């Protein structure tokens, strides 16, 4: 009896919300069936709670986004912005009764300028679509998260995504020059610029990058582009220990080299890859380092770092002769996460970034944690950045193993902080790492961050429960 009264009240609320939304939106942009809305409840993070959205809206225009936010403000309804939901921290997970605001249908590339080296895009443009489109003009949009064939630029901006290229080209944040943002109350604000430089006022553009939809809704972005570099050439080096491979990474970076990719896979990951594919990796490999250069003379650069790898103890160094061979060498890296998933059925991917001088200690520490917890933890790393993805493999149907997985995940973050690192190099905080954010930035930082949030979202309707 009580339940049905609550249900009725809730329906009335939802009904009112729907009426208000539909007053300013075409019917086809508003999805309400519980099966449909439930399919928008999650991103790709494990272990993060999610609720049942009241409604999913897929706007096509800035005005429609403004209408949604005005409605949400009037009715005090939470709004959860979403891109392709490939995130790994639960930042796009729905909360009960929320409006899911999916920006995937605002997917136009509005402008590409080779002279100004910029692109102007809507948030729903898929990363790979943009990359290919600018490629036709001889241009390059570097940020390349693993999910680049699916993830959207809006999502990349929300999480400040990284990728393999960051060691040379930096992260999403470096490529966002200006934004149009719909604020919580529906007003439109422009930040930044479309020029190469600009210092007029506070850098609100950067404040929005990585804010996980908690400050406003990005509806348009001006992105910086680079000239397309030459195709990269890859080298693979096998090491007798992760420590020796980390030493090679330090020598390479200390030597002033600028690789376009510098990735490291530990023994566990190599074994896992061998378990699902025949890549020709020796079972004795304790660590595999992949380096690439997209310079005019990549062969010479590879030879130089090959020598550094050997000095650090590499047992085999294999430079590719051409792009096709390079692709082959990268396949083991590409298969890593799939291979680690196959180990136990479920994985928790951590994202700890440490100063690269501490990389060896991170690898050693993760090995200790895996041993102590009796778990398989494979480490794949954007080694040149010190950004590691220790990946805990476990059986999610086994409660004790799940508990140990969760524990080791936390222990890895504690280790990262202890080594002067951060709890997240590129995946973001979302729901998954809220408590850890507080530990990393401390009480004063947290107070200031919350106060900044309150400036843009005084009613707390923008992606509540994320970050803090």
Q: How many residues bind a second copy (CB under 8 A)?
A: 89
Instruction: For residues 404 and 410, give the distance between their C-alpha atoms in angstroms, rounded to a whole number.
Output: 10
Q: Which is nearer to a second copy, 51 or 460 (CB)?
A: 460
Q: Which of residues 75-104 bind a second copy (CB under 8 A)?
A: none
Query: Which range touches a second copy (CB under 8 A), out of 143-151, 277-285, 400-408, 426-434?
Result: 426-434
Q: Which is nearer to a second copy, 398 or 468 (CB)?
A: 468
Q: Which of residues 340-359 bind a second copy (CB under 8 A)?
A: 353-357
3-state helix/strand/coil string of 169-186: HCCHHHHEEEEEEECCCC
Instruction: For residues 95 and 21, give the distance between their C-alpha atoms in angstroms, rounded to a whole number.
Output: 18
Q: Which of residues 259-288 bind a second copy (CB under 8 A)?
A: none
Find the binder of a second copy among 72, 423, 461, 462 (CB under 8 A).
423
Residue 387 is a binding residue for a second copy (CB under 8 A): yes
- How far apart, in Å, are the Cα atoms of 106 and each of 110, 126, 147, 177? 11, 10, 19, 19
The answer to whether 207 and 215 are in contact (CB under 8 A) is: yes
Residue 427 is a binding residue for a second copy (CB under 8 A): yes
Report, in Å, the least distance between residue 13 CB and a second copy.
Answer: 30
Q: Which of residues 23-52 bind a second copy (CB under 8 A)?
A: none
Instruction: For residues 377 and 398, give the distance between their C-alpha atoms in angstroms, rounded to a whole number.
Output: 17
Residue 426 is a binding residue for a second copy (CB under 8 A): yes
Find the binder of a second copy among 62, 188, 276, 328 (CB under 8 A).
188
Number of Cβ within 10 Å of residue 331's Cβ equals: 12
Instruction: For residues 138 and 230, give the distance between their C-alpha atoms in angstroms, rounded to a whole number.
Output: 11
Query: Which range touches a second copy (CB under 8 A), out of 10-18, 149-157, 164-172, 368-376?
Result: 164-172
Query: Which range touches a second copy (CB under 8 A), out of 28-36, 199-207, 339-347, 397-405?
Result: 199-207
Query: Which range touches a second copy (CB under 8 A), out of 30-38, 154-162, 274-282, 306-314?
Result: 154-162
Residue window 287-326: x/- pattern of binding to a second copy, with contact defined by CB under 8 A: --------xxx-----------------------------
The answer to whether 41 and 51 are in contact (CB under 8 A) is: yes
* Helix or strand holding residue 378 (H, E): strand 376-382
Query: Is 460 in a helix, a strand, or coil?
Result: coil
Instruction: For residues 115 and 233, give the distance between their C-alpha atoms in angstroms, rounded to a whole number.
Output: 28
Query: Which range touches a second copy (CB under 8 A), out of 167-175, 234-242, 273-281, 341-349?
Result: 167-175
Choose among 454, 465, 457: nearest CA to 185.
457
Q: Which is nearer to a second copy, 40 or 363 (CB)?
A: 363
Which residue carries 């480490």 as its tokens?
Answer: 379
């Amino acid at each position: 009896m009580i339940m049905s009264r609550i249900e009725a009240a809730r329906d009335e609320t939802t009904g009112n919300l729907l009426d208000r939304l539909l007053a300013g939106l075409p019917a086809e942009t508003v999805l309400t069936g519980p099966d449909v809305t439930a399919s928008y409840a999650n991103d790709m993070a494990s272990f993060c709670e999610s609720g049942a959205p009241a409604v999913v809206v897929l706007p096509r225009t800035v005005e429609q986004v403004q209408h949604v936010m005005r409605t949400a403000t009037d009715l005090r309804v939470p709004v959860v912005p979403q891109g392709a939901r490939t995130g790994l921290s639960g930042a796009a997970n729905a909360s009960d009764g929320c409006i899911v605001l999916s920006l995937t249908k605002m997917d136009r590339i509005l402008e590409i300028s080779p002279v100004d080296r910029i692109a102007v895009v809507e948030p729903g443009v898929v990363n790979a679509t943009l990359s290919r489109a600018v490629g036709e003009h001889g241009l390059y949009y570097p940020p390349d998260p693993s999910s680049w064939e699916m993830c959207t630029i809006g999502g990349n901006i929300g999480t400040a995504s990284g990728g393999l290229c960051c060691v040379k080209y930096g992260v999403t944040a470096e490529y966002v020059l200006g934004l149009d943002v719909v604020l919580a109350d529906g007003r439109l604000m422009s930040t930044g610029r479309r020029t190469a430089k600009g210092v007029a006022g506070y850098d609100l553009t950067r404040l929005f990058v990585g804010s996980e939809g908690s400050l406003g809704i990005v509806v348009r972005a001006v992105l910086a582009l680079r000239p397309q570099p030459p195709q990269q050439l890859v080298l693979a080096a096998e090491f007798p220990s992760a420590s020796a491979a980390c030493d090679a990474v330090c020598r390479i970076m200390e030597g002033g080299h600028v690789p376009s990719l510098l990735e490291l896979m530990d023994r566990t990951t190599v074994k896992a890859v061998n378990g699902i594919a025949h890549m020709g990796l020796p079972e004795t490999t304790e660590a595999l380092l992949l380096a690439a250069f997209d310079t005019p003379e990549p062969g010479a650069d590879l030879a130089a770092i090959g020598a550094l790898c050997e000095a650090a103890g590499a047992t085999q160094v294999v430079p590719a002769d051409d792009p096709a061979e390079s692709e082959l060498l990268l396949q083991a890296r590409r298969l890593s996460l799939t291979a680690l998933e196959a180990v136990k059925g479920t994985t928790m991917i951590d994202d700890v970034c440490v100063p690269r001088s501490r990389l060896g200690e991170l690898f050693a520490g993760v090995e200790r944690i895996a041993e102590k917890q009796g778990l398989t933890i494979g480490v794949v790393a954007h080694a040149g950045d010190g950004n590691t993805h220790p990946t805990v493999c476990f059986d999610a149907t086994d409660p004790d193993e799940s508990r140990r997985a969760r524990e080791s995940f936390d222990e890895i973050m504690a280790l990262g902080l202890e080594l002067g690192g951060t709890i997240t190099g590129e995946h973001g905080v979302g729901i998954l790492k809220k408590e850890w954010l507080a530990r990393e930035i401390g009480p004063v930082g947290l107070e200031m961050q919350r106060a900044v949030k309150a400036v843009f979202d005084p009613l707390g309707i923008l992606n509540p429960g994320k970050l803090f």
